[in-house]
């Protein structure tokens, strides 16, 4: 009998138990990261693609096929490993979208007549029992084309919602791994046992695809570049900032940052209008959730990339990947709603997206204005400084006209009131009576007049920001002669740090004005200006630093004026 040394570690990761010391696909071991060692999930992925066949399985004779391009990532859950989402693996070791799943999503886009004709129906037999009458279509599933699907398989998710909003103060959920395909082209196969109008079949299938397929659809996974479905709401925008970093150290622009940010703002707004339980339930109705038996959200999101440049900034330990992107953000309805509810939902997602653009941005460091644009002096002395902030703005004529709701500093308070009013309209349609007196007082960032103050001013140009320096030095110089103490929030709990979310947002919002179009005086023409609306959003607490900052803001209203809550 021949003994194989160290046989336990020669078993492929795919066949090991999900337990400590054997294989933990979801866990990111920080010690391994420091030592630049591969994680279990990276070993699992490399072993998988090494043994998969070089050519994709071929559909049989008579199967009609069409390719469709996923615009970001795609994943199906095989359900074979506890605690980890990883793809279904089909013939030849290729990732596979099952025919049964394909049929299920196809049925959601059918009329009742199409559902019976294409997918089958129950009928009553002559004995009074039920029989199944098959439909005329057979669904053969989908495989990725080419070999590109093997790249960038290891994906990272980083739950932060409770930490960001302040439901669970300063307790980041940590990073977790999953396996997903990056921008694959999927080829789907359908056959029929009778003559069929294939234009009709593929039209139904494209309508189904517009809702997204696979897992984590509401977060932006499984969305396609071009489908026939009309978005509930869409907007064009562009931005720059720090790109998320994958396990291999490479940067990636991740469109789910839009969904995460807007979901967080929905929590903040509802958290200022009702209690914690109702606020969370309202958000899960919109975006989905895992409470109880789980909720499929009403909204799905996709991002159509127009241009993207990935780069790097900084040196040494301060080096980070960056993005500069422009694209179209689309929100889709995942299920039918009565017309009045659909209109209210359109108004709500539009208002939430506009709120996110006015007061922050998306992705890492969204609470800070992009220092490269608004505080370049910070980096002139050294390139060994962290990249801070991001910058987003509307683009495209339609968005510059319809999505820019704040064109003057004195319109900000009314804009906030309008967002809250739209949220209350939706709440009432969901059977929830707004009760601002019961708002989530324990949440750091619940948006309520007793919990947040918005201050603002008009800045003449990018480098005219007054507040950006407050994050790196005093907002008020001390004067011994007049016994004036230095005022500062630098390195305080109000500005936060890596492991702690602060209580201040700072935004430089580009000022866009409307002019008359000389070629068509009846229509407005948007015009970008060099000016910005500078916003300082503050969530006070009872600390001395907070009280001193509020005293400074109130005594220096020529610098910043209070925009919300408005005083009578």
For the chain, counts of helices (H) and of strands (E): 14, 19
Q: What's residue 405's pLDDT?
A: 96
Q: Following DSSP, what letter does each residue of 434-454 receive, concatenated? A: --GGG--TTSTT---TTT-EE
Model confidence over 349-404: pLDDT tens digits?
999 999 999 999 999 999 999 999 999 999 987 778 999 999 999 999 999 999 99
Q: What's residue 22's pLDDT?
A: 82
CA distance 376 to 91: 55
- Burial of 114 from C-beta contacts in 10 A (0-12 / 13-18 / 19+): middle
Model confidence over 49-97: pLDDT tens digits?
998 999 889 999 999 999 999 989 998 887 666 667 778 898 899 999 9
CA distance 284 to 278: 10
Q: What's residue 7's pLDDT?
A: 65
Q: Nearest-CA neighbor of 208 among 296, 303, 105, 114?
A: 105
Q: Nearest-CA neighbor of 455 among 388, 491, 507?
A: 507
Q: Nearest-CA neighbor of 528 among 442, 371, 401?
A: 401
Q: What's residue 122's pLDDT?
A: 82
CA distance 372 to 365: 13
CA distances from 485 to 241, 543, 546 (A): 36, 17, 15
Q: What's residue 482's pLDDT?
A: 64
Q: What's residue 160's pLDDT?
A: 72
- Tokens 């196809």 found at: 106
Q: What's residue 103's pLDDT?
A: 95
> Which stretches does DSSP call E strand in 297-419?
299-313, 320-333, 391-394
- Tokens 């390719």 found at: 67
Residue 272 gets which letter from DSSP?
T
> Can you give the C-alpha Rg of the chain in angstroms?
27
Q: Nearest-CA neighbor of 225 among 237, 238, 212?
A: 212
Per domain, the residue ranges of the chain are: 1-229
Q: What's residue 212's pLDDT?
A: 85
- Burial of 43 from C-beta contacts in 10 A (0-12 / 13-18 / 19+): middle
- Token pair belonging to 408: 């003057």
Q: What's residue 64's pLDDT?
A: 96
CA distance 479 to 469: 19
Residue 189 parent element (H or E): strand 185-192
CA distance 275 to 373: 39
- Token pair belonging to 108: 């959601």
Cβ atoms 145, 68 nearer than 8 A: no
Task: Flag residues of the chain having pLDDT under 70.
Answer: 1-7, 79-83, 163, 169-174, 226-228, 290-294, 479-484, 568
Residue 563 parent element (H or E): strand 561-564
Q: What's residue 276's pLDDT?
A: 94
Q: What's residue 365's pLDDT?
A: 93
CA distance 285 to 278: 11
169 contacts: CB under 8 Å, gap ≥ 6: 163, 444, 501
């Amino acid at each position: 009998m021949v003994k194989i040394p160290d046989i336990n570690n020669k078993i492929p990761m795919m066949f090991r138990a999900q337990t400590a010391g054997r294989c933990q696909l979801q866990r990111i071991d920080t010690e391994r990261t420091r030592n630049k060692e591969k994680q279990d999930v990276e070993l699992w992925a490399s072993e998988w693609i090494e043994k998969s066949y070089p050519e994709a399985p071929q559909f049989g004779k008579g199967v009609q096929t069409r390719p469709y391009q996923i615009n970001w990532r795609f994943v199906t859950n095989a359900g074979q490993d506890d605690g980890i989402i990883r793809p279904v693996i089909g013939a030849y070791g290729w990732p596979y979208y099952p025919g049964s799943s394909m049929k299920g999503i196809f049925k959601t886009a059918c009329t009742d007549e199409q559902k019976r004709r294409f997918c089958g129906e129950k009928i009553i037999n002559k004995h009074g029992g039920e029989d199944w009458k098959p439909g005329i279509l057979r669904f053969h599933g989908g495989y990725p084309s080419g070999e590109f699907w093997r790249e960038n398989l290891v994906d990272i998710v980083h739950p932060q919602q409770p930490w960001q909003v302040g439901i669970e103060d300063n307790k980041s959920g940590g990073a977790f791994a999953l396996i997903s395909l990056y921008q694959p082209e999927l080829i789907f196969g359908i056959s029929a046992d009778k003559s069929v109008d294939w234009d009709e079949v593929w039209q139904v299938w494209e309508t189904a695809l517009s809702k997204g397929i696979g897992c984590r659809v509401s977060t932006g996974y499984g969305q396609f570049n071009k489908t026939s479905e009309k978005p509930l709401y869409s907007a064009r925008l562009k931005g720059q900032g720090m790109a998320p970093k994958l396990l291999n150290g490479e940067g990636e622009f991740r469109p789910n940052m839009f969904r995460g940010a807007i979901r967080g703002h929905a929590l903040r707004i509802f958290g200022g209008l009702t209690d914690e339980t109702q606020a969370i339930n309202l958000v899960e109705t919109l975006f989905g959730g895992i409470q109880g038996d789980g909720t499929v959200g009403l909204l799905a999101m996709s991002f159509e990339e127009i241009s993207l440049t990935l780069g790097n900034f900084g040196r040494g330990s301060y080096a980070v990947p960056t993005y500069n992107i422009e694209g179209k953000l689309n929100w889709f309805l995942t299920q039918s709603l009565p017309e009045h509810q659909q209109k209210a939902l359109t108004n709500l997602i539009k208002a939430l997206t506009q709120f996110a653009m006015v007061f922050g941005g998306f992705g890492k460091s969204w609470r800070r204005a992009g220092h490269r644009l608004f505080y370049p002096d910070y980096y002139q002395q050294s390139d060994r400084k962290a990249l801070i902030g991001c910058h987003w703005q509307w683009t495209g004529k339609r968005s510059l006209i319809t999505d820019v709701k704040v064109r003057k500093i004195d319109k900000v308070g009314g804009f906030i009131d309008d967002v809250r009013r739209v949220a209350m309209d939706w709440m009432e349609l969901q059977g929830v009576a707004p009760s601002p007196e019961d708002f989530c007082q324990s949440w750091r960032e619940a948006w309520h007049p007793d919990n947040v103050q918005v201050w603002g001013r008009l800045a003449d140009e990018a480098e005219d920001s007054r507040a950006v320096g407050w994050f790196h030095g005093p907002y008020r110089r001390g004067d011994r002669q007049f016994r004036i103490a230095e005022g500062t929030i630098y390195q305080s709990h109000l500005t936060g740090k890596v492991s702690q979310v602060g209580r201040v947002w700072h935004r430089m919002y580009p000022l866009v004005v409307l002019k008359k179009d000389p070629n068509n005086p009846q229509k407005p023409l948007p015009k970008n200006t060099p000016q910005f609306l500078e916003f300082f959003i503050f969530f006070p607490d009872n600390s001395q630093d907070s009280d001193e900052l509020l005293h400074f803001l109130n005594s220096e209203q020529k610098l910043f004026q209070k925009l919300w809550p408005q005083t009578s």
